[in-house]
Structure 1
Amino acid sequence: MPWTAIRWGVGLVVLIAAFATSSAWWPPLSRLIDQTLASQRASSDDEHSGPHDDSPGHAAHNESTAIGNATASLQLTPQALKNLGLTQDFLRPIELSTYRRSITVPAVVVAKPGRSSIIVSSPLNGVVTHVHAVTGEAVMPGELLFEVRLTYEDLVETQTAYLKTVSELQVEAREINRLEQATQSGAISGKLLLERRYAKEKLEAFATSQREALRMHGLSDRQVDAIGTNGKLLRDLRIVAPDVDEHDHDEELRLSQVQIRPVSFRQDPSLPPSLPPTNDASHRHSHDQPGTPLVIDDLLVHKGQAIMAGEKLCSLSDYTRLFIEGKAFENDVNAITEAAKRGWAVDAVISSSSGQETVRGLKLTFVSNSIDPDSRTLSMFVELPNEVVRDETNNENQRFLSWKYRLGQRMELRVPVEEWEHQIVLPVDAVVRDGADWFVFQQNGKSFTRVPVHVRYRDQNAAVIANDGSVYPGDVIALKAAHQMQMAIKNKSGGAVDPHAGHNH
């Protein structure tokens, strides 16, 4: 009895283990059994038909049997694998993933309003004495662009009046000091001293109003104080590249006392000695300077040109972050709005002579609230981070940049509109069609077995395969060249080859 109980117990454990691991050993075993039975049926048919049976029905049956079974696998040499591009990147185990069905929207790269383009204009009237930049040059915030000799009459007159008032205040202060000493000795009456003090207060009030007028012209307190201290008018204006991201409301005009960095290495010898010497490192372009590089697109002035207040001197462009503007059809409005609501990422496809490039994971920033009445399309805007592909500095220390993405460049946007979870998703080149069947090629050692699958959905980029047991997560599938391998199988079988089989245009 004990031995019988032990045998029953061991048998029960084996059955439980076999049932628990059935998902691992049953599919291969089932395919092996099917192939064995199919081979036996083929052999039986050959025996019944006889070695000299050349009837058309038997010939067609033998040919279809050969195509469907005997040549259902393909062995590729290492050279063939390389020719087909089946590297390790394209021979990977399949995994369950989330598939997002998407629509394709034509798009074009555009500037970000309010950021990509910056206009540099003169705040005052004057004459351009130096131009320190050239068209196409990249400059950093704070670098010198232009020097202007001021001819703005109102500013000159206000500075002159303020300097005169300061001088008169100094005279009044000395006179009041003299009268205070004379009044204490009794030589003159106190009434005269009081009148002089009233006159000084009037001058101080007048000087205060003149200071505010100078501040309205853009001068800072430090610059106004310098006029009274040095007794000289400020006549030279230096215009520098602005900062895109930062702005100081108390920023002063770059006048002759201000230390700045000229854009180019060569410096005009007439510049004031207050600037650092030309061999100082701060004069050269530094790629480590904080801020965003700006490219000079339009340079509209030249040396000796008279300019008016508010006149455009040049335009600067910030290409670090751009927009992709997509034009969706009116019928897709609800789907795109839902994608923006869910925060789904958008892919951009760029076509070129070397093929297609896909930029993944872009953010859908916003969708327009109006439909174009002429084209009946809806505008949508996607963030596009840009990158520098060329950064060179010439002998004159002028820096030039080339960006990867350019304004006006055409693209396509893939906008997800539906999400399917836990799907087997393969590249479209991994599946091939033959009649009513779809096939993938599973790697088994050095061979590739053609496996029929059910394609639930297919677009121009990917195919969703039903998880019905034909293939399993973890199986190694050829992720490309399915069409070429299908043609190789047909050539091997000796059947007629359709060059367009499984390949849709």
Structure 2
Amino acid sequence: MRFEFNQFTVTALKWVAGIVLVVVAGVTYSKWWPVVSGWVDATLANESGESPDAHPAPKPDLDSGGNIALEVLRLSPQAFQNLRLTADSLRPIELTDYQRSITVPAVVAAKPGRSSVVVSSPLNGVVTHVHAVTGEAVTPGALLFEVRLTYEDLVETQTAYLKTISELEVEDREIARLESATQSGAISGRQLLERRYAKEKLEAFAKSQREALRLHGLSERQIEGIGKNGKLMGDLRIYAPDVDSHDHDQELHLSQADALTVGFTGSQATLFPGAIPTAKKEDHVLIVEQLDVHKGQAIVSGETLCTLSDYTDLFIEGKAFEHDIAALTEAASNNWKVSALINGSTGQQVIDGLNLAYVSNSVDPISRTLSLFVELPNERVRDVLNSEDQRFVSWKYRVGQRLELRVPVEEWKDQIVLPAEAVVKEGTDWFVFQQSGQTFTRVPVHVRHRDQSAVVIANDGSIFPGDVVARKGAHQMQMAIKNKTGGGADPHAGHSH
């Protein structure tokens, strides 16, 4: 019985000693494991005939407690600059609303009926002066052309009207003479009555001639001027129209008033009567796109003289697929803002906050695509005068320019949204890098949704609102960690091709 008790005691002591040894080994793991690992690697290298230094064991990163922290990366000040980690890309996480969107190809388009203005001749004539040049910027009210009229009907109508006015003046004098003679009893009142009837006929004829002149485009002021001055109007001035305002006299500019010529930039000249001052029109610049006439050219009524383009407001025409109709209808119903992406030599430019004007009600039968139109306010990037005081303007967005539209189709409330550069993928895991001073800890996260520009991170406790994570450079930091741990860095890690 005593022998069995001693044997049991020895066995228990062995178990206790083993447990203590395991605990001590675990506590001092960081002290002896690098040495043992290096000795094992060296032994294997010797057995394979290689030098022990051919594949040196990686030196693990240690945190402040002396424990191995292979997923912690310390960056130098130069590394911060290389990765462009500024205060904007290292700001705390905030819960924001995320709009899941679709991307559709698009092109900048003109607004039908607004972006193009055709200037035509209302009458036949010969061009005596061309004030505009192709590509020049003009404002509404600027003088474009001067034309000497050869419109036979207008000349004949003016001549007949002037003759009628003269005959009316003769009848008025004759009636005045007969009235005094009738009162004295020298002649009968029948002659006076006949003259009055003749005057009424002439007045009716003059009225019809006045209406004919109005149909030719003359204003009431100009018709009265013909009768008052006794001169025919034979010179026509054509001005740049105003695409917005139509409250000035809609007349042929046949007067001899001073006009604002195209190249004039001062304030001494005046516009045609009734026009809006140039100072109020400065935001509305028209470009002479096409000039179809030259000095000395004979023109006929309705012939195009030039085409003016207004690039102040444009459309972006996108082409979505037929199965996106429901999503586009939802976006239009909720008045969600649309973004445009333009690729350039300096990178991708994003235009946010654009309004979806309307979605087409028909599907193209050939391409099976649906058109949507987004309003695009334009802006001037160049506005100069040449040596002849001719003005030239360049616009930021050009008709025909290709881009992409990002149209929201679904909205998620209170989400953790980060830029696409803030996450990196390794195998089946996604990681972000959480900042603590100059060190960044790689933290696994669950990516709920990802597009070309942003990712939605699940709010499951891996990271919290208020944490600071690197919003760019995740791929480079992932490669740096793999290099530190001794693993070969995959240059395509975290990228999809």
TM-score (norm 2): 0.86
> Secondary structure, in 3 states, of the residue corresponding to 1:204?
helix
Q: Could you say which structure has the larger radius of gyration? A: 2
Structure 1 counterpart of 2:255: 256
Distance 1:52 1:391, change over 3 A: same
* 1:316 alignment counterpart: 308
Q: Name the residue aligned to 1:452.
A: 444
Residue identity matched to 1:203: L
Matched residue, 2:233: 234
User: 2:490 aligned with 1:493, yes or no?
Assistant: no
Matched, 1:378 2:377: no
Residue 103 of structure 1 pairs with residue 102 of structure 2:
yes
SS of aligned partner of 2:469:
strand
For residue 256 of structure 1, report the CA deviation from its aligned partner. 2.5
Aligned to 1:280: 268
Who is 2:73 aligned against?
A: 74
Report SS of the residue matched to 1:378: strand
Q: Which string of whole-angstrom CA distances, capped at 9 and with x for unpartnered residues, describes residues 412-431 of structure 1?
A: 00111111110000000000
Q: Which residue of 2 aligns with 1:428?
A: 420
Contact 1:125 1:309 in 2 (8 A): yes
Identity of aligned residues (%): 68
What CA deviation, in whole Å up to 9, does each residue of 1:77-99 have, x standing for no partner?
Answer: 22111111111121111110111
User: What amino acid is aligned across from residue 449 of structure 2 in structure 1?
Assistant: Y
Contact preservation (8 Å) 1:117, 1:317: yes
| Offset of residue 476 of structure 1 | 1.2
Match of 1:46 in 2: 33
> Which segments of 5 or more consecutive residues in structure 2 lack a partner in the other structure?
1-25, 45-56, 272-276
Aligned positions, number:
450
The Cα shift of 1:289 comes to 4.0
Q: Could you tell me how far 1:345 is from its partner in structure 2?
A: 0.7
Name the Cα RMSD after superposition. 2.5
Residue 467 and residue 42 in structure 1: after superposition, are their counterparts in 2 closer, same or farther (change >3 A)?
A: farther
Corresponding residue number in structure 1 for 2:148: 149
Quote the Cα distance in structure 2 between the aligned partners of 1:51 and 1:378.
66
Change (3 A) 1:225 1:426: same
Counterparts of 1:294-333 in structure 2, within 5 Å, are 294-333=286-325
Alignment of 1:183-262 (within 5 A): 183-248=182-247, 250-262=249-261
Quote the residue 2:180 is aligned against.
181
Matched with 2:130 is: 131
Q: Secondary structure at the match of 1:264?
A: coil
| Structure 2 equivalent of residue 403 of structure 1 | 395
Correspondence for 2:406: 414
Is contact 1:141–1:291 with CA below 8 Å preserved after alignment? Answer: no
Structure 2 residue identity aligned to 1:219: L
Per-residue deviation, 1:234:
0.6
Gaps of 5+ in 1: 1-38, 57-61, 267-277
Question: Does the 8 A contact of 1:120 with 1:313 survive in 2?
Answer: yes
1:463-482 to 2 correspondences below 5 Å:
463-482=455-474
Distance in 1 (CA, whole Å) between partners of 2:421 and 2:297 is 63
What's the secondary structure of 1:222's corresponding residue? Answer: helix
Query: How far is 1:280 from its partner?
Result: 2.8
Give the SS at the match of 1:93: coil
Q: String of CA shifts for 1:419-465, please: whole Å, max 9, x gaps.
A: 11100000000001122221111111121111111111111111100
Amino acid at match of 1:146: F
Distance in structure 2 (CA, Å) of the matches to 1:52 and 1:356 = 53
Q: Given residue 204 of structure 1, which amino acid in structure 2 is its aligned partner?
A: E
Give the direction of change, closer, same or farther, for the CA distance of 1:176–1:47 in structure 2 (3 Å limit): closer
Mapped to 2, the partners of 1:50 and 1:396 lie a distance apart of: 83
1:43 Cα shift?
3.8
Give the 3 Å change call, closer, same or farther, for CA 428–41 of structure 1 in structure 2.
Answer: farther
Matching residue's letter, 2:33: D
Please state if 1:162 is matched with 2:150. Answer: no
Give yes or no for contact 1:243–1:291 (8 Å, CA) kept in 2.
no
SS at match of 1:419: strand
C-alpha distance after superposition, 1:26-65 (max 9, x if no partner): xxxxxxxxxxxxx959549939978744599xxxxx9899
